[in-house]
Structure formats: structure tokens, C-alpha cells
Amino acid sequence: MTTQPTVAAESDPNPSAAPRPSGRTARIATTAAAALALAAVAIGYARHSSSAQAPDTAVTAETVSLAPGPRLLTLTSTGQVTTVGKADPGGARAVSPTKCDRAYAAAGTVACLYADGALGTVTMRVLSPDLKERKAIPVSGVPNRVRVSASGRMVSWTSFVGGDSYATLNFATRTGIYDSRTGTLFKTLETFSVVKDGKPYQASDVNYWGVTFTGDDNTFYATLYTKGHRYLVQGDFAARTVRTLRDRVECPSLSPDGTMIAFKAPVEGDSTRGWRLSVLDLKTGRVTETAETRSVDDQAAWLDGSTLAYAQQHDDGTKDLWSVPADGFGKPRLLLRNAHSPAALG
Amino acid sequence: MATAAVATTTAAVVALLTAAPSASAATSTFTPVADTYVQDTTPTTNYGTSSLFTVDNSPVRQSFLKFTVSGLTAPVSSAKLRIRVTSTGNSASGGTWKSMSDTTWSETAVNWNNKPVIDGGTLASLGSVANDQWVEVDVTSVVTGNGTFGFGGSSTNADGAYYDSRESGADAPQLVITTGTAPTPTPTPSTSTSTPPTADPVLVGAGDIADCGTGGDEATANLLDGISGTVMAIGDTAYPNGAASDYTNCYNPTWGRHKARTKPATGNHEYNTSGATGYFNYFGASAGDPTKGYYSFDLGNWHVVALNSNCSVVSCAAGSAQEQWLRNDLAASTKPCTVAYWHHPRYTSGSSHGSTTTVQPLYQALYDNNAEVIVTGHNHDYERFAPMNATGGVDNTRGIRQFVAGMGGTGLNGFGTIQPGSEVRDGTTWGVLKLTLHSNSYDWQFVPQSGKTFTDSGTNSCH
């Protein structure tokens, strides 16, 4: 976003509402107005100058391309698809008029989960790198998670179809998977067979969310909820099965080399207390907490083999994109203001 | 408020004392120099600027009043403490009132933790008190001349009694003192030197309210204690299921004390109980016909419509009974301004529920009839939209300003994608939305829970 409109809005003290000044009052009012104007300029200046250091970048007319390349896909807080240079997120930001509530892209496949507030429709839109629609899958609920396999073939999404948030037990989600090569579409994974703790399992309260795909475009990980537990499951798309691996793992995100899973760990096992962004080593089973101590309610994305990106929300719902090393060291870093739903395009 | 109240006191005293010397028996009326209450569940909260004070045993609340009597030149023959029950403050017990030796407490600093002790003799143990009743307590044994006198009230009844405080203006407590020996006429209620202007009506409330698992509805009910007017309870009034027990256990102890002035609308949680019978039984006639759940009324220059946005239960479609009733109701209204409220928002950026398009025909009917404001809930947050038409467009000429006011007390949630037209949002503060309904405009104000700072206010003209 440019800073200019912000300055204009800040400098408008609604003059029509001010009483008509006269005499001594007039001087005071004038002084006050002048002070307000100066304050507005100061605010504008402060914002403008801070943007030199903080990555609140200028918009360019550059066409948004989500083709593979050294760029980072994010959405603005109002849902617009944007890209910035991966090496320089504070640099120029290309902004598209296309809106999504949640987006991800890989290898030329763009997944844009979008709720049209005017029409009341929710659609899993599969787009080309130049944001042309290739496939539209009607979805119900509130958009929540979306992911594309590294090859660009597999697409998955999660929406809330009931209840409020992951923090409670009183919610329902729906997670679907679409194979863009074969056209196979599962609008819910709830028909898949479950093996829990080595035994076949059936329950009416099974919910899935947060799919992440492996490199074979068949095996995936996700969260399975049942009876108060939030399991990491490994799924086999062709066999329509999942099996539980471990409890208290939500919103998995597989590292590019397939050896680690970043996830949300309920704080002391209690999701009502928030989540600690953590990393599971699949070989050793060891869990490492990242240096991000604030609660993270996001399906993190890997920017590279060692860095995670995720959103944090302000009180007013605007979101900023942060990154933190996956190894537990370092500290969180603000990557980009007014941004969420990250995906490294290359 | 405090400054204004002091000024009123001074004026009253001067006026009365000027008249006093001409009579052998004179009556002087004093208003309090301080009055407030404290509450055990909010031990550090001060209610000094509240327009009421209260005695209650659930939560435990005690009230303190302080009068400074001066200018008396003759012995006191009679002293009466007069306090007025608020328009909805009736109770089976008006409380026990005693004198207090401690008059050092400050109206704007006293709280439960530092409250003075009510240590004097019992002056009155009141029975039931009625709405708008002036209650008189004989305090002749205490007020014997010039000086500062304190009174304290408490109650052992869980049904609290509410009285207008000095901040309420004309209905402020009085200490009526008669001096001299001549037969005394019964003192008349305060004869103010100028009639205060009639205040414009207030419509105040929120949705998503009473949840026994949070302290939010306690916080917002406390806000209502200090705001007079009609209360809109905008659905999801009693969690989790709108069952009779949810009202008894969760709603009644908080917002229930404002029930007599509440005009509710039903949310989805009410229908977790078949037919929303818990809701309709609790609110009774105030909630309208249980098969409909929509109704309208007037406030000053405004027409107010409460609708049922559970459109799968009571249809909202164009041509439906509700939509046709609404169009006829709006056409019949003679008021220049209109406000409507229902539970499910046409527009919202909330993270939990998307925009509800099934209510679009209701929005359209209001738009077609030049309504000004719609207040909704459902997402547990606060959001103000620009004036919008029914199809998603900002319309600064005829558009209706829609609020999401789902911050009434249950657990708060954040936001998803910020939607077109959204102007202000907050997802971390419980509060109430106060609409002051002027003759041809309205003010809106987000009133935050005690201790929080988010607020939002503004003014719009009627169309």
C-alpha cells in the first residue's frame, strides 16, 4: 500500500463537525487545528520513514506472477494477492486485484480459497501462475487452510463448517483434496479409513485439518481430531487411508526435504492457552520449540530448508508476516506488514 | 459528571437557604456530595461516576452516600433520606440502611478492597421497592445539625435494588431537613429551578452475551448499570444452548438485572433448544410471537425493528412472511429514522462466520425504506462498516451502516480477511454499543469493559 492515502485520512479532522470559531476561541481553535495538521504530517512522516526500515513496502504496477522464482507470495489483510522478492521482502510489492482468503502456490499451481462476501459463496479456486482460473470447486464454511504439493499436482484445503476456533472443542472442519492430474476430488477426508494406534477406528466426531503433501504426491500428513485428541496422521491418498502417528500436533507443514514437520503444539497440551510453533524431526521423533514464544495459530510455511513463515494478527484483524528459524535458535523477525498466507515460490 | 453534580448541589442549597429565613419552619434539601457503590466480584473497580447505586447480595454490592449539611440556623426537627428506585431497579428488598462514621472516602477512589465500614445504627430495613419509587428513610437521629453525614446500604437478598445516583440529575438522592418547630408540610420531591432537557433515547447492547465460562457478560452488564435506555440483546444471549437453565445460571445473574428494559432478538444458539423455547419463555412478551421472533417498536423519533435471522427456521426470503411484514411495518412507520437489529451479519470480517446472504432481503427492505442502522452479532468481535447497500457496495447516499456487535460477553475471536467497507474492528475487547437516537441523527459509541481502552464513536444524520 502507498503511504499517501494513509496520510490523507489521518490529516482529515472532520472539519465540518468543528464549531465555527470566533474571537479568542477562534485563535485557540486555529492553533488546535494547526497542531492537528502538524501531528498528521508528523504521523505521515513517521510512517513513511519507518517504512524505510520496516518492510511496509510500496506498491508497484508490476504484474503479479506466481510462477516459480525467487519471490514470496502473500495476501494483504484485505485478501489481495501480492508478491515480494524473497531476498528483499521490504522491496517493491506487486499487488493483484485478485482476492483470496488463503493462498498457496508451487510449481505453477496456485490454490486460492476464496469467500465472496457479497455473494455468500466459498470456492476453492485453482489458478494458473497469472491468476487465470483452471478449476473452481464449491466449498462450504469459512476458509482456513490451503496447500499445494511441491510438484503443483495436489491441492488441499480446510474450512470451518461449524463452531468458532481451534481453541475450543466445539467446532467442525472440512478438509478436501484435489488431484489436478487425474481430476480426482475428495471434498472431505471423513470417508477415509482410519487406523488409530494400529487398529481400525471409527467415530462420528472425526475432523481433519491442515494437509501437507510429501514429494510422492500420494502420501500426506494432516491433523485428525477425535474425542479431544489432535493427532498427526499420515495419509495414503490412493488407498483412502490415514493412520495416527502422535497426539497434540496441529497444522503440520512438511519441510522441503521431507524430514521435518513444523506444527502448532498446544501450550502445555491445552489449546485454549494457545499454540507454540514447534518442529518435529520425523526420524528421531524429537520436538524442538521455535524461538517464537507468542501463540501462533497458522499453518506455517517453509521459506527454505531452515526458516518458517507465519502470520500474527493485530487486535483490529490486520496481519503481519513473521519468520523464525526452524532449529529453535535465533529470534522471530518481522518480514512484511499487512501480509499473511505465505508461500515461497522458489 | 462530578463537577456538574456539585454545581447543582450548590445552586439548590443557595436557593433553599435564601427562602428559608422567611418561614418559622424551613425545609432544606441537599443532594449528595458523593454516592457510589462497590462490588465484591470487581474488587478494584470504582463506580463513582455511575448514574446509579445498588444494594445486592449476588454479587455482593454495598452503596455509600455522603451529604454535607451547612447553613442551618435552627435546630433540626426532621431529616429524611430520600432515594429513588431506577425505572427498572425494583427488588424484593430495598436493603438495609445504616449511618456511617467514616466520611473520608472518595467517590472516585472507593472500591471493594478499600471500602469504608458501615458501622452505624440501622436506620431502615426496607421491604420490596418498586420501579421509580421514592424511598424515604428517617435519619433524624443522625442528622442533628450542620456537618457531613454518611449512609451505607447493603442487602442480603440476591435480587438487587437499584437507585438513581447524583449523576442521574433530577432523580438524585436527597437529604430533606426541616428546621424549626412549626408543623412541617410533607416535603415535595425536588423542585428544580429549571426543567432539565429531555434526554434523547438510548438503544444500547450487544450480541453473544451470557457464557458461564467467561467473565465477559459480567463486565458488559456492569457497563449497562451506568447506561440508561433500552437494551438490545442481539442473539446468542445464553450459552451454550439457550436452555432454561442457561438463562437461570448464566444470563439472569448478569444481563438479567436489565431484563425489564431489554428488547431481545434471537440467535442461533437459542435454537439449540427446540423452538428456542428457553429464550421465549425467559423473555416472555418482550421477545414477540414465539413462532416469529420479530417485532418493532418506537423510541422517540426512531422506529426500531428486531428481526429473526435464523432464516432456516423463520424465512428471510423475499416474499416470506417476515420480509413482507417488515416491508409493511416500515411503510406504516411515521418516524423519520429507523434502526434494525438481528443476529447474523450481512457483512463481517470475523474469522468464525462468513457474511450471511440469507438476510439480504431484510437488508434490502430496510434499504428500500431508507433505514439508517443495522446492528448484528454472531462473530465474537466488534466491527463497523461504511454505509452499504444490500449487495456489497459502499453507498454513502442511501447506504445503511451495519455494525457487528458480538462482543457482549462470550469468548472473543479475531478476524479473517478484512471485507470491503469495513472501517473499524476490534477482536479483543468486551463492550456494548450505545446508540443515542437524536431527532434526526444518531451517535454511536463502543463502550469498552472496565480496564480496556478500545473505543469507537461517531455521528450520522438520518437519510
Kindly give the pairing relationship between strand B400-405 and strand B382-388.
Answer: antiparallel
B153-185 burial code (b ≥16 CB/10 A, e <16): bbbebeebbbbbbbbbbebbbbbbbbbbeeeee
Q: Where are the alpha helices (DSSP H) in A144-219?
A: none
CA distance A139 to A149: 20
Which among A118, A142, A168 has CB closest to B353? A142
- Cβ-Cβ contacts under 8 Å, B413 against chain A: 164-165
Question: Considering only CB atoms, which chain B residues are within 8 Å of A318?
Answer: 418
Residue among A79, A164, A170 minimizing CB distance to B417:
A79
Are A172 and A207 a contacting pair, CB within 8 Å?
yes
Nearest CA in chain B to A14: B458
Residues of B44-69 as b/e, b for ≥16 C-beta within 10 angstroms? eebbbebbbbbbbbebbbbbbbbbbb
Judge: domain B202-461, CATH 3.60.21.10.
yes
- Give CA–CA dist A346/A70, Å, rounded: 5
Q: Taking CB atoms and an 8 Å limit, are A77 and B418 in contact across chains?
A: yes
Which residues of chain B form CATH 2.60.120?
2-179
pLDDT confidence of residue A54: 40
State whether A142 and B357 contact (CB < 8 Å): no
Regarding the domain delimited by B2-179, which CATH topology (the fold level of the hierarchy) does it fall under? Jelly Rolls (2.60.120)
Radius of gyration of chain B (CA): 24
* Domain spans of chain A, in order of start: 4-52, 57-344
Min distance B362 CA to chain A CA atoms (Å): 15
> Mean pLDDT lowest for which of A283-287, A332-336, B115-119, B195-199?
B195-199
B404: closest CA of chain A, how far (Å): 13
B88 in Cβ contact with B260 (< 8 Å): yes
The residue to which cell 475450543 is assigned: A168
Q: B430: alpha, beta or left, given left = phi > 0 and alpha = psi -120 to 50?
A: beta
Q: Closest chain B residue to A76 measured between Cα atoms?
A: B417
CB neighbour burial string for B269-294, b if at least 16 within 10 angstroms, e if fewer:
bbbbbeebebbbebbeebbbeeeebb
For residue B349, give the nearest of A143, A168, A317 by CB distance. Answer: A317
Peptide bond into B59 cis (omega under 30): yes
CB A270, CB A257: distance < 8 Å: no
Q: Is the pLDDT of residue B131 over 80?
A: yes
* Set of chain A residues whose Cβ sits within 8 Å of the Cβ of B429: 315
Pairwise CB contact (< 8 Å): A118 & B355: yes
Which of helix, strand or coil describes residue A16? helix
Dump pLDDT digits (tens) for B416-453. Answer: 999 999 999 999 999 999 999 999 999 999 999 999 99
Of B106, B107, B228, B218, nearest in space to B168 by CA = B228
Q: How long, in residues, is chain B?
A: 463
Rounded (5°) CA angle B322-B328-B331 = 140
For residue B351, what is the DSSP state? S
Say how far apart CA A78 and CA B56 lie, in whole Å. 48
Residues of chain B positioned with their CB less than 8 A from the CB of A170: 240
Chain A residue with minimum CA distance to B356: A120
The pLDDT value recorded for residue B196 is 47
CB-based contact A102:A35 (threshold 8 Å): no
Looking at residue B3, its pLDDT comes to: 37
- Percent residues over pLDDT 90 in chain B: 69
B420 to A78: CB separation less than 8 angstroms, yes or no: yes
- Reported as a pLDDT band with limits 50, 70 and 90, residue B134 is confident
Query: Nearest C-alpha of chain A: how many angstroms from B327?
Result: 22
Q: What is the Cα–Cα distance from A346 to A72, expressed in whole angstroms?
A: 8
Nearest CA in chain A to B421: A78
Q: How large is the average pLDDT for residues B125-130?
A: 88
**A195: which strand partners?**
A200, A243
Q: Which residues in chain B are contacts of A118 at CB distance < 8 A?
A: 355, 357, 391-392
- B355 and A122: CB-CB below 8 Å? no
pTM given for the model: 0.70
Buried b (16+ CB within 10 A) or exposed e, A29-53: eeeeeeeeeeebeeebeeeeeebee
Which positions ≥6 away from A142 have C-beta within 8 Å? Answer: A115, A122, A159, A160, A161, B351, B352, B353, B354, B416
Most A CBs within 10 Å, among B346, B413, B417, to test the A interface: B417
State whether A165 and B413 contact (CB < 8 Å): yes
Collect all residues with Cβ–Cβ distance below 8 Å to B20 and sequence separation of at least 6: B26, B27, B28, B71, B73, B179
How do the pLDDT tens digits run along chain A, 346 residues long?
333 322 222 223 333 333 333 333 333 333 333 333 333 333 322 233 333 334 445 555 458 999 999 999 999 999 999 999 999 998 899 999 999 999 999 999 999 999 998 899 999 999 999 999 999 999 999 999 999 999 999 999 999 987 656 666 678 899 999 999 999 999 999 999 999 999 999 998 999 999 999 999 999 999 999 999 999 999 999 999 999 999 999 999 999 999 999 999 999 989 889 999 999 999 999 999 999 999 999 999 999 999 999 999 999 999 999 999 999 999 999 999 999 999 999 9
Give the nearest partner residue to B357 out of A79, A99, A119, using CB atoms. A119
Nearest to A78 among B358, B414, B418 (CB): B418
In a 13 Å sphere around the CA of B267, the CA atoms on its Cβ side amount to 30
Closest-CA residue of B relative to A99 is B417
How far off is chain A from B320, nearest CA to CA, in Å?
Answer: 20
For residue B23, the model assigns a pLDDT of: 44
Look at B88 and B359; give whichever has higher pLDDT. B359
| Closest residue in B to A79 (Cα–Cα) | B417
The pLDDT assigned to A59 comes to: 58
Specify whether the CB–CB gap between B247 and B254 falls below 8 A.
no
What one-character DSSP code corresponds to residue A250? E
Using the structure block, give the residue that is written with the C-alpha cell 454490592. B61
Closest by Cβ to B347, choosing from A77, A117, A318: A117
Q: Which residue of A has its CA nearest to B357?
A: A120
CB contact under 8 A, A318 and B418: yes
Complex ipTM more than 0.85, yes or no? no
Residue A315 to residue B428, Cβ atoms within 8 A:
yes
Whole-angstrom distance, CA of residue B53 vs CA of residue B64:
8
**Cβ neighbours of B240 in A, within 8 Å:** 170
Give the integer Cα–Cα distance in Å for B430 and B300: 28
Q: What average pLDDT does range B184-195 have in this prediction?
A: 44
Q: How far is A58 from chain B (nearest CA, A)?
A: 20
| Torsion angle defined by CA atoms of residues A210, A214, A220 and A221, in that order, rounded to the nearest 10 degrees | -50
**Site of grid cell 497458522:** A298
- Eight-state DSSP code of residue A6: H
Residues of A in contact with B381 (CB under 8 A): 317
For residue A18, list chain B residues with Cβ-Cβ distance below 8 A.
none
CB contact under 8 A, A17 and B459: yes
Alpha helices in B29-103 (DSSP H): none
* Chain A residues close to B347, C-beta within 8 Å: 117
Any idea of the CA torsion for B303, B309, B313, B318, to the nearest 10 degrees? 70
Give the model's pLDDT for residue B180: 77
**Nearest-angstrom CA–CA distance, A314 and A300:** 18
Q: Residue B9 has what pLDDT?
A: 34
Q: How far is CA B109 from the centre of its chain?
A: 22
Residue B182 has pLDDT above 80, yes or no: no
How far lies B156's CA from each of A29, B44, B54, B160, in Å?
Answer: 54, 22, 12, 9
Residues 6+ apart with CB under 8 A from B362: B307, B309, B316, B322, B323, B326, B340, B342
Other Cβ atoms within 10 Å of B196 Cβ, number: 9
Mutation to test the B interface, candidates A173, A316, A320, most B Cβ within 10 Å = A316
**Which of A115, A118, A317 is nearest residue B418 as measured by Cβ atoms?**
A317
The three cell numbers of residue B212 are 458461564
Q: Is A101 close to B413, i.e. CB distance below 8 A?
A: no
Helix axes B360-368, B321-332, angle to 10 degrees: 20
- Chain B hits for A167, CB-CB cut-off 8 Å, are 411
A164 and A170 Cβ atoms separated by less than 8 Å: yes
Report residue A322 as a C-alpha cell: 513473521
pLDDT at residue B394 in the model: 96
Q: Which residue in chain B is spatially nearest to A78 when comparing CA positions?
A: B418
- Residue B103 one-letter amino acid: T
| DSSP single-letter state for residue B144 | -
Per-residue pLDDT, B144: 86
Residues of chain A contacting residue B349, judged by C-beta atoms under 8 Å apart: 317
Per-residue b or e along B338-368, where b marks 16 or more CB atoms closer than 10 Å to that residue's CB: bbbbbbbbbbbbbbbbbbbbbbbbbbbbbbe
Nearest to B354 among A115, A163, A315 (CB): A115
Which residue carries 522478492 as its cell? A85
Q: Which fold has domain A57-344?
A: Neuraminidase (2.120.10)
| pLDDT at residue B15 tops 80 | no
Span B381-390, pLDDT tens digits: 999 999 999 9
